Structure 1
Amino acid sequence: MERWRGRTALVTGASSGIGYAVAKRFVEHGMNVFGCSRNIQNIDELSKTVRCGPGSLNAIKCDVSNEDEVLAMFAKIRKEQGRLDVCVNSAGLSHGEPLLSGTTEKWREILNTNVIGLCICTREAVKLMRESGVDNGHIILLNSRAGHMAQPRSTIHFYGASKYAVTAVTEGFRRELRELKSGIRITGVSPGLVETEFVHRAMGQESGEALYRSLEKCLTADDIADSVIYALGAPDHVQVHDILIRPTDQAY
């Protein structure tokens, strides 16, 4: 990770869970990090605790499902840093909305954040990398094991569909970057059950706790941050395309 020291990263969904852990780890490795979220209080607090570290952390209030806010965020990064080297698309959400009884409004929220917002951020990140001459940048897309296999719970079937789309666009972005003869790499990281607030928000507190208790030990946000660091640390000729990581005793 030494080669990333002093370089600029954007982490979406950085206020909690995986995004928070990744942003913290980047700062510890000496990167200049922009962390975005709809609520930036936690990012602001983290920035104070890492102020004496080798890197820096700046909070940007941004809802990735709102294109105007995303474009304004990239304009801010362009103005303040003039470049971008790493973009981690960690922002994501789910609602307990089955296919046969879910609401259209909630489905749209899932797609606008998990797919459209992710694609807008990736498009703008590549644009900024290329215009600033960064040919060895790296894009990380936070996917899910639900993006690779059908899930047993009806409440996350639509969420799974959004993550299948992430699997598809990961390969699509890789191919388009190859067509441009770009050295920018792209990696999907697909976690199984991670002990964060995500499951509680998606399934409700009681259901989320029951799901966590069904396993001897869940993954942690730091486990996923380790995977991101692994992908970034690979030599330039190595493209870590997708990391599927789950708890050892998770059955599916």
Structure 2
Amino acid sequence: CTPLWLASQQGHVVCVRALVEAGADKEASSKATRSTPLHIACEHGHDECVRMLLAAGADKESWNTMCVHPLWVACQKGHVACVRALLGAGADTTDRLYSPLHIACQHNHVACVRELLAAGADKDASNRDGETPLYTACYFGNEACARVLLGAGANMEASNPEGWTPLHIACRQGREACVRALVEAGASLSVSTPCGSTPLSVAWSLDHTSIVRLLQDAEAARQAHHHAAVSEPVSEPTFAPIPVPSPAAP
């Protein structure tokens, strides 16, 4: 590791500034992971060092041996100030394998999710397994991230290659809070996989009784609302009488 790498790891801003001004190699990486000074500053949440390295022209898109860039690392660790600095510098929010938004949802870093969405990150991007950030949030039971995504208009019905939607996976994992968030947002309760599995059948098969009850209550409420709307009497239109002109005087 170089002196700049170590200074970035420890958050020694004065040292980072001095080394950068002296022309230290900003891309010199560690042998083990090929992480650059910018990677390691993001990992440890040293946002001032991050800003300094970016201002000096450090590569914000460099990949380490884990095939991740600095923004991904910052989102994984939940260092929102670092995320904000990288986004402000134009860091790429996409990744065909597992995007920064996916990793932020996995670890329930809500503030990072908000920053990414505000910067235009694709809320419905698919990872290598064909799963959206909302699916990831529901898989891990991170209700707060799920609600932020739903509020941003994330597709509730987007399914993975097996036909599983976020509601399916929330039911399988027993994530009642996420199930409730999806139901409240209007997710389809009857959506079925190619194998015929519905959210209710998934919850039932795994004995998630509270989720079964939640889904049954939601279906009953929707049916009642539908019947009320259909059977509501239509009032006859009323019209004001048309005045008849008086006969003209002779």
Point out the structure with the larger strand share.
1
TM-score, structure 2 length as denominator?
0.28
TM-score, structure 1 length as denominator?
0.28
Higher RCO (C-alpha under 8 Å, 6+ residues apart): 1
Of structures 1 and 2, the larger Rg is shown by: 2
